Amino acid sequence: MWVLEIYQSRQGEGIWTGYYSVFVRLLGCPLRCRYCDTVYARHFPDKSDVEIGADLSPEEIAGRVLLLDQHHVVLTGGEPMHSNEISLLTKLLKDFDYLITIETAGIFLADVYCDLMSISPKLSNSKPINENNNSDAKQHDEHYSKPEIVKKLIARYNYQLKFVVDTPQDLNEIDSYIENLPNVIPERVLLMPQATDIATMDKKAQWIIPHCESHGFSYCPRMQIVWYGNKQRT
């Protein structure tokens, strides 16, 4: 499994916000979201990419997680559900009684051990806007929306649905998306402002929070921006 980084931090988003956790960031994602905040993790490496991450076995990853002595572990990316070894990794972590969160776009299925499936379905606002890179746009369009997979994930796992909201027009798209999912628990629908600074986040909160209140959804601030700023971990 290609791993970019393993580190300790606080969970900044979702229903487990504030929990100290070990984050395992896997490399590789087929999406090309225009607002992606981990562009550095979406590359699919191979043996020739000696300066990008490390190719570790699930056993090696679990061993490094154990050294950091936290009860929670977050598998993120990239897109962790893409890895064909994700099932084994989650089994090893669960053998050590970890609480496991998987951060996923909901575009791949895998049989995993997971205490919280954190699904971030992509809206039309995720499409890349670089007109000079048609290959990125085509690749993104092929993968970004898989509601049938999302339905299966929420049926199998404890879940949260985390939507990135950029403009008020996104709210109608979210409402339509939720209407087509069976038996979704409203408070497990999290609306998170697209922002890279506190001022923008607070400004968008002014119209996102009333929508959450009227629909029974949950507002999801990006607390890592508040705590650490918009910085790649170094």
pLDDT, residue 143, reads 79
Q: Is the pTM of this model over 0.85?
A: yes
Q: Which CATH number fits domain 2-228: 3.40.50.150, 3.40.50.1820, 3.20.20.70, 3.30.1540.10?
A: 3.20.20.70
In angstroms, the CA 164 to CA 185 distance is 18
What residue spans define the domains of the chain? 2-228
* Single-letter residue type at 59: E
pLDDT on residue 228: 84
Where do we find the tokens 């506190």?
198
Mean pLDDT, all residues of the chain = 91
Q: Which residues does residue 9 pair with via DSSP β-bridges, in sequence order? A: 21
Q: What was the pLDDT predicted at 211?
A: 98
In which band, very low, low, confident or very high, does the pLDDT at 221 lie, cut at 50, 70 and 90? very high
Nearest to 22 by CA among 42, 44, 5: 5
Is residue 149 over pLDDT 80?
yes
DSSP assignment of 102-160 equals: EEE-S--------SEEEE----GGGS---TT-HHHHHHHHHHS--HHHHHHHHHHS-EE
Position 51 scores a pLDDT of 67
* pLDDT attached to residue 234: 46
Asked if pLDDT for residue 56 goes beyond 80, the answer is: yes
Q: Which helix (H) or strand (E) holds 22?
A: strand 20-26
230 vs 82, more confident? 82
> What is the model's pLDDT at position 121?
95
Interior angle at CA 118, CA 117 and CA 124, nearest 5:
130
Residues 6+ apart with CB under 8 A from 205: 193, 219, 221
Q: How many residues does the chain have?
A: 234
| Angle of CA points 106, 83, 177, to nearest 5° | 5
Question: Any idea which of 96-110, 139-153, 185-199 has the lowest mean pLDDT?
Answer: 139-153
112-137 pLDDT per residue, tens: 999 999 999 999 888 887 655 677 77
